[in-house]
Amino acid sequence: MSDSDIERRIVAGLIVSDEFAGRVRPLWRDDLVESPEVVRIARWCTDYFDRYGRAPGRHVEDIYMRELRADRVPKAEAEIIERILARISDDYERGEQFNAAYLFDRAAEYFRSREITRHNERVQDLVDVGDVAAADEAVRAFRPTSWATSRG
């Protein structure tokens, strides 16, 4: 599964599943996702979840239109968001089954991988600029999120 595919599935879960949104919400970090469009949609979903205690479902379309009318979404990003939302809608109209527990496991695995990758990039950046002492300290100080204990 590609990064863009798992990110699309994660945001789909945030849109359609109260259970998935509730489990992922405490773990969500924008910096663990590559696509800025997925981050934007996920923020809408997590804000909605924080306010109403449930996934937005079809309300995500209303949120998107309101944000678009308020000119808070750049045009290029809006087109990509529209395609993402249309694809998610098509998937679920065709009756795609949603398994919140399975997707949570895949999301935790993806977030763990992204967290390690981002850390390694920071360490490599320090090495590249010649700050080996800071890189060494960053290696020793790294404490990844315990995704396994977050499953409860």
pLDDT in tens, 102-138: 999 999 999 999 999 999 999 999 999 999 999 999 9
pLDDT at site 30:
93
Residue 95 predicted with pLDDT over 70? no
Reduce the DSSP state of residue 53 to 3 states and report it. Answer: coil
More confident: 62 or 27 = 62
pLDDT at site 1:
61
Angle in degrees, CA 51, 149, 108, rounded to 5: 70
Question: Do 35 and 56 contact (CB within 8 A), yes or no?
Answer: no
pLDDT band at 94 (very low <50, low <70, confident <90, very high): low
pLDDT band at 4 (very low <50, low <70, confident <90, very high): confident
pLDDT at site 44:
97
pLDDT in tens, 32-71: 999 999 999 999 999 999 999 999 999 999 999 999 999 9
Question: Do 10 and 103 contact (CB within 8 A), yes or no?
Answer: yes
Question: Do 11 and 64 contact (CB within 8 A), yes or no?
Answer: no
d(C-alpha 78, C-alpha 81), whole Å? 5
C-alpha separations of 52 from 40, 65, 83, 112 in Å: 18, 19, 26, 28
pLDDT band at 16 (very low <50, low <70, confident <90, very high): very high
Residue 77 predicted with pLDDT over 80? yes
Please give the structure tokens belonging to residue 149: 């204990």
More confident: 89 or 36 = 36
